[in-house]
Structure 1
């Protein structure tokens, strides 16, 4: 989409505001690029645009099928927490080919399927019945099972505070759940962890960047009185001397 925004006399502030507004508008349609022609000197700018929905899946893979949350969660754990880049499809096919296929078709993947996959890849892993405070002490991300409206669902615990849990959900993306609500969904109370070099997995657990992105994805809001200072001119309107 090409947008002509008047002439080179525009002040940089207006140009930046226009770019932000246009970027926000386009973000609802998914990731794309936006050409801004004639802004602040007549140059062309290519602005990369990513939707809020896509931002939620920046550190967790979105499951491709209703029954593939296990492979998506495991692929996400390896890729984004342990630096071992794999995708959901490869994990899915490997676990299916080496697993009890008829059982998988009916029930989906199990933690044992994940453990066997990791063993083939050279990792040691185990399931533990520990509480969230113990996971904080272990300082490690973990895969677990929650009851999501009657359906058992694999997610990644990416961080924990006294009041909140940072969840990497292959269906919803990365989001924050109040700790008491998470405890209610967390019926099995099993945490599945990879035994690996602590400097690898722990480096991406309790990520302040991820916490900040989920707590305030848009940053600080502009106060109401200041909103009146920002305008988008109607195409064809001639700006007056006090418009900027």
Structure 2
């Protein structure tokens, strides 16, 4: 699947963010001396709990790596997924269709001991009921991209975007991009691997996608529901 490589817009510095306190940790301080505070940068907030894609065609692998690594605590590098798949999927085919399909991701997940399945026609309410993060395809201006839906806050969807990092999007805006209500769900072999759904610590400070521009890559396959 083609991946929309996300970049900051020139005006990102003027982001209007959701109001929320930033937790600051005081460093050691001597009596009578005001201690400095370690404030997390926007980049740290943006990259928390997201595996960033290394190649234009690897958004699906990076999304799956994000889900396995951070939801199930199963450290699975993007590179290991890509290498495994390229031993089983023709590289020319991957390039021609713009990336890996959901069927490819399903094969990797199940070889690792998970059960994976894709559904279409799902609703926002269905997404909100999921116990773990899920992978969904979005389409904008005719180009496709895999992102991880992490949860919802203040009328926005929290997305783990392999091309950018954590980003928020208005629910109504997300619904216009979400392709056919498709959801890719991965179930662990042991339900004890499912913990509390973890949103980024500073979810309300994640940048809004309306202030982010996207650089479009190559075309993607039209059918990838398996």
Q: TM-score, normalized by length of structure 1?
A: 0.64
- Structure 1: 4+ residue segments shifted above 3 A: 8-11
Distance 1:9 1:55, change over 3 A: closer
Q: Which moved more, 1:156-165 or 1:85-94?
A: 156-165
Cα–Cα, structure 1 residues 176 and 103, in superposed 2: closer, same or farther, change >3 Å?
Answer: same
Q: Does 1:117 align with 2:108?
A: yes
Counterparts of 1:129-148 in structure 2 under 5 Å?
Answer: 129=120, 130-148=122-140
What is the Cα deviation at residue 103 of structure 1? 1.4
Q: CA deviation at 1:157?
A: 0.6
| Cα displacement (A) at 1:55 | 2.9
- For residues 1-244 of structure 1, what are the structure 2 equivalents within 5 Å? 11-13=32-34, 16=35, 19-20=36-37, 51-107=41-97, 108-129=99-120, 130-160=122-152, 163-196=155-188, 197-201=190-194, 203-205=195-197, 207=198, 210=200, 213-216=202-205
Partners of 2:43 and 2:147 in 1: how far apart? 17
Structure with higher helix content: 1
Give 1:105 shift: 1.4
Aligned length: 175
Partner Cα separation in structure 2 for residue 199 and residue 157 of structure 1: 21
Aligned-partner Cα distance in 2 for 1:166–1:199:
24
Larger radius of gyration: 1
The two structures have a TM-score, normalised by structure 2, of 0.69
Unaligned runs of 5+ in 1: 1-7, 25-49, 218-244
Question: Higher relative contact order at CA 8 Å, sep ≥6: structure 1 or structure 2?
Answer: 2
Is there any run of 5+ residues in structure 2 with no aligned partner, and where? 1-28, 207-226
Question: What SS does the corresponding residue of 1:98 show, helix, strand or coil?
Answer: coil
Distance 1:177 1:93, change over 3 A: same
Q: Which residue matches 1:27? A: none
**How far 1:177 moved relative to its partner?**
1.1
CA RMSD of aligned residues (A): 2.4
